[in-house]
C-alpha cells in the first residue's frame, strides 16, 4: 500500500530570513492572486525566497491555516469565474493539477478565442474552489508562512522595512495601497467617465440553477447586455445590469425595527432564500430583500423575466447580492516604498490583482488579469534576485506587462459599459436599458387606454422578437465552428415565445456584445520574458556605467 506523506507535518527547514541570499517577501491578501504569486515564486526561487502571506479571512485548524466559514463571519465566494488557457497554462504544474485534476471542479462553457493557447478552451471554476486548493498547497510549502490576520501596514511598518518586497493583493479597496498613495500615485477616474460622471454599473447577482445547456446559455448571453449567466454545469450567478432607478431599489428592510437598510447595496451582503418563508434574508444583519416582498415591484418582475430567459425556475433562485463596478486608470504598479539604509535592504511595493486593476467583470478578465500580474512579478523577481538590493531597472518588464494588461482589459471592459449610436454619441448601456423600459411602459399604458375606450387591440408586435432572432442567427454562424450544439431558429423562437414584449424590446435595444471592438490581439506577458536583453559591457578603457552585482549567468555578458 502506498504511503502518502503530508509535507506540512514534517520538520522541513524554512529559508532563513536572515540569510543575505534569501529574498524576503510579504504578501498582503491571500486570495487567488496573492496565493498564486506566493506559489509561483516558491517554484521559481526554490529555497531562496521566504514568503509571508497575511489574510484576515483565515483561521488556524491544528497545524494548518484554513478559510473561516459562515459561523466565523466569512461568507465564501461562490461565484463562477472564467479562466483563460493563456493564464492557467502559465501556472506551476502542481497548481494546475490541484485546480483541474478533479474534472467535476470545472467546465468548459465558453468557446476558444484569441486568449486560448494551443486551442485549449477557457474553463469555468468556482472562486471558493481556487481559494481552497491554493491554500492547501501553500500550507505544505516550508518557504511560505501563512498568517491568519488582516495585514496592517502601520503595525508591520518596522518589519516591512526589512523586507525586499511587499506585494499588495488585497482587492480593489486596498488599505495598504492607499497608505502608500504618495508612492503609487493618484488614480484617474476621468478616462472612464461620461459627460463628467465617473460611470458605475450596479449589477444584481442572482445565484441560480439553470436547466439550459451551455450552448444555449452562451448564445442568449452574448446576444444582449441586460443579463449574463456564468455557471458550472448550470449552477452559478445570473448577473443583471440595473438601471439607475432599479439600483436605488436594491435595499433590505429590517422586519423588526421596520427600517430600510442598504446592507445588500453598500457592503454588499449575500441574501439567501429561507425555505420556511421563501424570503431572502441577510444572515449578518437579519434584513430581507425588499423587492421580493413586493411582488408587484418592477424590479422583481424584471428579475423573474431574467430567470425565465435562462430556464431558471423561481424556486431555483437561492440567493441575491449586488456588485458596484467601476474602473480607474492607475499611473504605476511598482514603487520603491523604502530606500535602502545601512541596516535595511530597501523595499519595493507592487500592486497585484484588483488592487492594481479592478476590472468590470462583464467581459470576464478580472481574475485572468490578476493571475497574469502574479506570474509576471514572480518571473521578474526570479530573474533579478542575486542576493543584492533590488533596483528600478529590475522591474521594467513587469511594469510594462502591467500597463499592457490595464490597457487591454480595461478598454474591453469600458466597451462593455457604453455604446455609441448612429450619430456617434456615446451612451451608458444602463441608460439605454432604462429608456427602453420607459418606452415600453408608455406603450403599455397607451394600449390599456385604448382598451378602456373599447378600441380593438392590434396584433402583438413581433419586430423585437424577429430582430433578436436575426441577431442570434448571425452570432450562431460565427460561433458554430468553435461551439457545437448551438440551438436552431425554431428552438430559439419557442424558447423566447414566453418572454413579454417589453423584455424582448429591452434585450434588443441593450445590444449584443460588441466582439468587433473588444476582439483582436490579447495581452500576452510572455512578450516581455521570452529572452534576456543584451547587457551593456564597457570596454576596459571606457569608464561607462558600472554594476556592482555579478552578471546574470543567463546574459550574453556572462559568456566568453
Are 188 and 205 members of one domain?
Answer: no
Gap between the Cα atoms of 144 and 341, Å rounded: 26
Query: Has residue 47 been placed in a domain?
Result: yes
Query: Has residue 11 been placed in a domain?
Result: no
Residue % of the chain over a pLDDT of 90: 73
Q: How many CB atoms lie within 10 A of CB 109?
A: 25
Query: Has residue 92 been placed in a domain?
Result: no
Gap between the Cα atoms of 68 and 61, Å rounded: 10
Residue-wise pLDDT tens digits, 317-331: 999 999 889 999 999
Residue with the bigger pLDDT between 290 and 259: it is 290
Residue with the bigger pLDDT between 223 and 278: it is 223
Are 174 and 27 members of one domain?
Answer: yes
**Whether pLDDT at 98 is above 80:** yes
Q: What is residue 558's predicted lDDT score, i.e. its pLDDT?
A: 37
Are 278 and 133 members of one domain?
Answer: no
Q: How many CB atoms lie within 10 A of CB 260?
A: 11
Are 171 and 27 members of one domain?
Answer: yes
Are 215 and 310 members of one domain?
Answer: yes
**Whether pLDDT at 7 is above 80:** no
Domain end call among 300, 325, 350: 325
Domain end call among 287, 307, 325: 325
Residue-wise pLDDT tens digits, 239-276: 999 999 999 999 888 877 767 766 776 667 889 998 76
Confidence (pTM): 0.89
Query: Has residue 147 been placed in a domain?
Result: yes
Query: Has residue 546 been placed in a domain?
Result: no
Are 385 and 445 members of one domain?
Answer: no
* Contacts within 8 Å (CB) and 24+ apart, 170-179: 170/28, 170/29, 170/355, 171/29, 171/31, 171/353, 171/354, 171/355, 171/358, 172/354, 172/355, 172/358, 174/28, 174/29, 174/351, 174/354, 174/355, 176/28, 176/151, 176/355, 177/351, 177/355, 179/153, 179/154
- Show the beta-strand stretches assigned E in 386-460: 418-420, 426-428
Q: What is residue 78's predicted lDDT score, i.e. its pLDDT?
A: 87
Are 388 and 400 members of one domain?
Answer: yes
Total domain count, the chain:
3
Are 157 and 53 members of one domain?
Answer: yes
Residue-wise pLDDT tens digits, 24-72: 999 999 999 999 999 999 999 999 999 999 999 999 999 999 999 988 8
What CATH number has the domain bearing residue 377? Answer: 3.50.50.60
Query: Has residue 556 been placed in a domain?
Result: no
**What's the Cα-to-Cα distance from 290 to each of 243, 254, 266, 275, 282, rounded to whole Å?**
17, 9, 15, 17, 11
Residue-wise pLDDT tens digits, 398-452: 999 999 999 999 999 999 999 999 999 999 999 999 999 888 766 655 555 555 5
Domain end call among 297, 325, 353: 325
Q: Of 406, 361, 353, 368, nearest to 117 (Cα)?
A: 368
Gap between the Cα atoms of 239 and 237, Å rounded: 6
Cell of 118: 494551443
Residue-wise pLDDT tens digits, 345-370: 999 999 999 999 999 888 778 999 99
Are 188 and 244 members of one domain?
Answer: no
Are 36 and 54 members of one domain?
Answer: yes
Where in the sequence is the domain holding 310, given as residue range(s)? 199-325
Are 442 and 498 members of one domain?
Answer: yes
Query: Has residue 557 been placed in a domain?
Result: no
Gap between the Cα atoms of 199 and 59, Å rounded: 38
Q: Give the chain's mean pLDDT.
A: 88
**Whether pLDDT at 3 is above 60:** no
Running DSSP on this structure, what letter comes out for residue 329? B
Are 29 and 158 members of one domain?
Answer: yes
Query: Has residue 527 been placed in a domain?
Result: no
Amino acid at each position: 500500500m502506498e504511503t502518502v506523506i503530508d509535507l506540512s507535518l514534517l520538520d522541513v527547514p524554512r529559508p532563513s530570513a536572515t540569510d543575505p541570499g534569501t529574498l524576503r517577501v510579504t504578501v498582503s491578501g491571500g486570495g487567488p492572486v496573492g496565493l498564486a504569486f506566493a506559489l509561483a515564486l516558491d517554484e521559481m526561487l526554490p529555497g531562496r525566497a521566504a514568503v509571508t502571506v497575511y489574510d484576515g479571512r483565515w483561521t488556524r485548524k491544528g497545524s494548518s491555516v484554513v478559510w473561516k466559514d459562515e459561523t466565523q463571519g466569512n461568507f465564501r465566494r461562490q461565484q463562477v469565474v472564467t479562466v483563460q488557457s493563456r493564464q492557467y497554462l502559465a501556472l506551476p504544474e502542481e497548481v494546475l493539477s490541484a485546480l483541474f485534476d478533479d474534472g467535476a471542479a470545472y467546465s468548459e462553457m465558453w468557446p476558444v478565442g484569441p486568449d486560448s493557447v494551443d486551442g485549449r478552451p477557457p474553463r469555468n471554476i468556482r472562486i471558493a474552489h481556487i481559494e481552497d486548493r491554493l491554500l492547501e498547497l501553500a500550507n505544505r510549502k516550508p518557504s511560505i508562512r501563512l498568517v491568519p490576520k488582516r495585514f496592517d501596514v502601520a503595525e508591520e511598518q518596522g518589519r516591512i522595512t526589512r523586507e525586499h518586497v511587499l506585494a499588495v493583493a488585497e482587492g480593489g479597496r486596498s488599505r495598504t495601497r492607499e497608505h502608500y498613495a504618495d508612492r503609487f500615485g493618484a488614480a484617474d477616474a476621468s478616462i472612464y467617465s461620461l459627460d463628467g460622471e465617473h460611470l458605475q454599473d450596479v449589477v444584481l447577482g442572482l445565484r441560480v440553477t439553470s436547466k439550459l445547456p451551455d450552448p444555449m446559455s452562451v448564445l442568449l448571453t452574448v446576444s444582449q447586455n441586460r443579463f449574463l449567466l456564468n455557471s458550472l454545469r448550470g449552477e452559478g450567478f445570473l448577473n443583471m445590469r440595473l438601471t439607475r432607478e432599479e439600483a436605488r431599489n436594491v435595499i433590505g428592510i429590517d422586519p423588526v425595527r421596520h427600517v430600510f437598510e442598504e446592507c445588500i447595496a453598500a457592503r454588499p451582503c449575500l441574501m439567501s432564500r429561507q425555505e420556511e418563508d421563501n424570503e431572502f434574508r441577510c444572515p449578518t444583519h437579519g434584513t430581507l430583500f425588499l423587492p421580493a416582498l413586493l411582488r408587484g415591484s418592477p424590479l422583481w418582475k424584471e428579475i423573474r423575466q431574467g430567470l425565465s430567459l435562462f430556464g431558471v425556475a423561481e424556486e431555483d433562485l437561492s440567493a441575491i447580492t449586488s456588485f458596484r463596478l467601476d474602473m480607474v486608470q492607475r499611473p504605476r504598479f511598482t514603487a520603491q516604498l523604502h530606500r535602502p539604509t545601512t541596516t535595511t535592504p530597501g523595499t519595493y511595493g507592487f500592486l497585484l490583482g484588483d488592487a492594481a486593476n479592478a476590472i468590470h467583470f462583464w467581459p470576464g478578465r478580472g481574475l485572468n488579469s490578476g493571475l497574469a500580474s502574479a506570474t509576471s512579478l514572480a518571473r521578474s523577481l526570479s530573474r533579478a534576485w542575486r542576493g543584492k538590493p533590488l533596483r528600478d531597472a529590475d522591474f521594467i518588464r513587469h511594469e510594462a506587462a502591467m500597463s499592457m494588461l490595464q490597457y487591454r482589459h480595461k478598454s474591453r471592459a469600458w466597451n462593455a459599459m457604453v455604446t455609441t449610436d448612429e450619430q456617434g454619441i456615446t451612451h451608458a448601456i444602463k441608460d439605454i436599458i432604462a429608456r427602453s423600459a420607459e418606452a415600453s411602459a408608455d406603450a403599455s399604458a397607451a394600449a390599456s387606454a385604448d382598451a378602456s375606450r373599447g378600441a380593438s387591440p392590434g396584433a402583438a408586435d413581433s419586430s423585437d422578437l424577429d430582430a433578436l432572432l436575426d441577431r442570434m442567427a448571425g452570432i450562431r454562424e460565427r460561433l458554430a465552428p468553435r461551439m457545437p450544439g448551438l440551438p436552431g431558429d425554431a428552438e430559439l423562437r419557442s424558447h423566447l415565445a414566453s418572454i413579454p414584449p417589453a423584455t424582448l424590446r429591452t434585450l434588443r435595444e441593450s445590444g449584443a456584445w460588441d466582439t468587433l471592438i473588444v476582439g483582436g490581439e490579447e495581452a500576452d506577458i510572455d512578450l516581455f520574458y521570452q529572452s534576456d536583453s543584451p547587457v551593456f559591457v564597457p570596454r576596459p578603457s571606457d569608464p561607462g556605467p558600472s554594476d556592482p552585482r555579478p552578471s546574470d549567468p543567463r546574459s550574453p555578458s556572462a559568456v566568453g
